[in-house]
Structures are given as C-alpha cells and as structure tokens.
C-alpha cells in the first residue's frame, strides 16, 4: 500500500512539474545543503521545487527532497525535510487563488498540515538549523514531516481569514502517523504590524495503536510582528498525543535584519516542552539558541548556531554548535504570452 501510494504521489508530482513547465509563468528552484554539528553529525541534502501558473488564478507547486545524515535520531538539520537517505515528495498540489464572496483559495493535493507557523519558509530558510521542540516528531507533539493528502479551503476578508482542511496523513521522516483522517482549522487576524493566529488539529497518533489509543488533538496560538527589521514570532500548543498523556510547549523567536546589517541576519530562540505522563516516561526540556545567517554571494548562504538544552535532550550534549551552507539556484521558465 505504501509503495502504491508513493508511486501515485510521484506520478502526480511529475505531472504537476510538467504542467508547471508549460505554464505561462513558471520557475524551478534547486537548493543544495551540507553541514555538520559538534554532535559528530554531518549532513547533505537537496530540494527541487517547481512552481507555475497554469491559468489565471491557478497555481501549481511540486517539491521533492533528498537528505542524509550520519546519525539519527536527532533534530539537527531537521527544520523542514527528512534525512533518511531516500527521495521524498514533500508538497504536490494545485491551488486556485482569488474569487468572490470571501473565498480566497482552494488547495488540493499534498501539503503541509495547516497548524500554526507551518510552511517551509517559516522554518527552513531563516537560519535556524533545528526545528522547534514542538515540531520534532519524537517529542509527542507535531512534526516538521507532517503532510496531508486532502483539500484545504481559505476564506475571509482583508484582515481576518479562516482556513479549513480535511485530509489523510501523508508523512515523511521518522514520525509517521497511522492511517486515518485529519481535520484542521486555523483563524488568522492582522492588527497593525502583528499577525495573530489560532489553530486546532484532530488527527491520528504516530505511535502503534497497542500503545497509543485514541486521537491526537492540539490547540495552538501563534504570533508574528515586525517593526523596522526586527521580527518577534512564536507558537504555543497544548493537547494530547493520544488518550491519557498531555503535551504543552512553545517557542519565541527574535529575528533581526536591519539595513545596517547588510548580509547578516541575527537569530535567537527560547523554547520549552512538557510531555506529562507517568513519571517514568515524562519528558521536560528547555532550550536556548543563538544563531546567524550570512548571505555570502547571490544564492549562497552560511548558517551557524549554538544551542544549549536542559532536561531530556534531542542533543547528545547539553551544548551543540551547528553550521550549514546552502546554495539555491532559480531558473525562470516563463513562456512569453502569445
């Protein structure tokens, strides 16, 4: 069943890529990455992303990735893609944008679970080399590898929107949810320079049913605000990974890129997570990260960070230094309008 599903998704990806290449407006983006950590881990990865506008208001997106690192489990370099040494389809969907009567977009295909700050651009390209603890698949919360096969609808006015998704899990990485259904809802509102959101997801657990009975349900809030090149953002979630235990946690980021900083972006993060269950299995951890991203030349960028973690750790040591380099090439395939 898994092989057939992967074949179907790969076929859909190829079809979307070909359609994007024939679109009036189209582009292909290739990102290559490599790096290492004082946890005695090195990694390499690549992502290919095709985007195209097939017709007015109809957008196609197709993305695949490959990655490999020398040791798992670890959350290092896991901001948006798995590193299992295989090619994974990440996103492959068609999206209609526009409309009247408050309907703003309809997306169908394979996409990231719409909960909180969930897009790849929210985590993969800023300079943080580890995902938030609440998005590390082994920590009884969400996973950066959670994907959906389904339909997502966005409606609203200029400052308020509502997003609804009905789907089935289509995950990549180590935390693979059981077969079943997922429903997600997200509301977002803009207040001056701030964007505030609230999300709810009801899905299947990623652990075996013999151990994890019931459903995984989470409620979350998120915030983004930017003033003069200084952005503050964060998420908090609370819920259950399955019947019985609960998980609560979140993070707060500070991202600074002023005109005087030129090619440098400074980053800082504080975060916490509490998995509350029988004392033998309870998990409590906190982490602080300081990092920077330097644009070296056109699409070439260097990211480096120091992470200090207390409690039960995703890191092998309480303090880890991570560094990664990425090179992104983008080619415009747009066809001239006849």
SS3 5: helix
CB 111: neighbour CB atoms within 10 A? 24
- Phi and psi torsions of 202, nearest 5°: -130, 115
Q: How far is CA 160 from CA 73, 156, 211, in A?
A: 39, 6, 40
Q: Residue 4's pLDDT is what? A: 47
Here the tokens at position 335 are 């066809």
Residue 25's nearest CA partner among 293, 295, 337, 334 is: 334
pLDDT averaged over the chain? 88
Query: d(Cα 130, Cα 124) in Å, to the nearest integer?
Result: 9
Per-residue b/e over 135-159, b at no fewer than 16 CB within 10 Å?
Answer: bbbbbbbbbbbbbbbbebebbbeee
Of 138, 223, 216, 144, the closest CA to residue 188 belongs to 223
Three-state DSSP class for residue 15: helix
pLDDT band at 3 (very low <50, low <70, confident <90, very high): very low
User: Where does residue 319 rank: exposed (0-12), middle (13-18), buried (19+ CB within 10 A)?
Assistant: exposed
Does a cis peptide bond (omega within 30 degrees of 0) precede residue 73?
yes
Torsion sign over Cα 138, 139, 144, 147: positive
Over residues 295-309, the mean pLDDT reads 94
**157-169 pLDDT, tens digit each:** 889 999 999 999 9
CA distances from 204 to 92, 156, 180, 334 (A): 22, 28, 6, 41
- State the pLDDT confidence band at 72, using cuts at 50, 70 and 90: low
pLDDT per residue over 114-154, tens digit each?
999 999 888 888 899 999 999 998 899 999 999 999 999 99
- Write the pLDDT tens digit of every residue in 88-105: 999 999 999 886 667 789
DSSP structure string for 102-171: TEEEEEEEEEE--SSS-SHHHHTSSS-SS--GGG-GGGSS--TT-EEEEEEEEEE-SSEEEEEEEEEE--
Say what the pTM is: 0.88
Alpha helix (H) ranges present in the chain?
Answer: 2-21, 120-123
């Amino acid at each position: 069943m898994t092989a057939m599903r992967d074949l179907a998704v790969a076929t859909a990806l190829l079809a979307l890529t070909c359609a994007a290449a024939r679109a009036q407006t189209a582009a292909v983006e290739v990102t290559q990455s490599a790096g290492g950590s004082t946890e005695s881990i090195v990694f390499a990865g690549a992502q290919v992303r095709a985007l195209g506008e097939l017709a007015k208001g109809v957008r196609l997106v197709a993305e695949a990735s490959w990655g490999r690192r020398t040791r798992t489990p670890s959350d290092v370099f896991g901001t948006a893609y798995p590193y299992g040494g295989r090619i994974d389809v990440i996103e492959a969907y068609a999206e209609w944008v526009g409309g009247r009567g408050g309907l703003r977009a309809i997306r169908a295909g394979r996409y990231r679970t719409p909960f909180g700050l969930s897009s790849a651009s929210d985590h993969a390209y800023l300079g943080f080399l580890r995902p938030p603890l609440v998005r590390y698949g082994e920590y009884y919360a969400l996973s950066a590898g959670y994907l959906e096969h389904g339909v997502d609808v966005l409606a609203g006015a200029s400052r308020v929107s509502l997003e609804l998704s009905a789907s089935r899990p289509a995950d990549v990485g180590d935390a693979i949810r059981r077969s079943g259904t997922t429903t997600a809802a997200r509301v977002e509102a803009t207040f001056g320079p701030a964007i505030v959101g609230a999300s709810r997801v009801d899905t299947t657990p990623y652990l075996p049913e013999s151990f994890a009975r019931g459903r995984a349900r989470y409620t979350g809030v998120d915030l983004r605000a930017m003033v003069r090149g200084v952005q503050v953002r964060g998420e908090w979630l609370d819920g259950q990974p399955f019947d019985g235990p609960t998980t609560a946690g979140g993070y707060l980021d500070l991202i600074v890129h002023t005109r005087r900083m030129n090619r440098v972006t400074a980053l800082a993060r504080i975060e916490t997570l509490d998995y509350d269950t029988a004392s033998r299995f309870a998990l409590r951890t906190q982490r602080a990260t300081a990092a920077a991203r330097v644009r070296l030349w056109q699409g070439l960028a260097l990211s480096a960070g120091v992470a200090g973690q207390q409690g039960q750790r995703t890191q092998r040591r309480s303090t880890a230094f991570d560094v990664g380099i990425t090179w992104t090439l983008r080619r415009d395939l747009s066809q001239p309008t006849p």
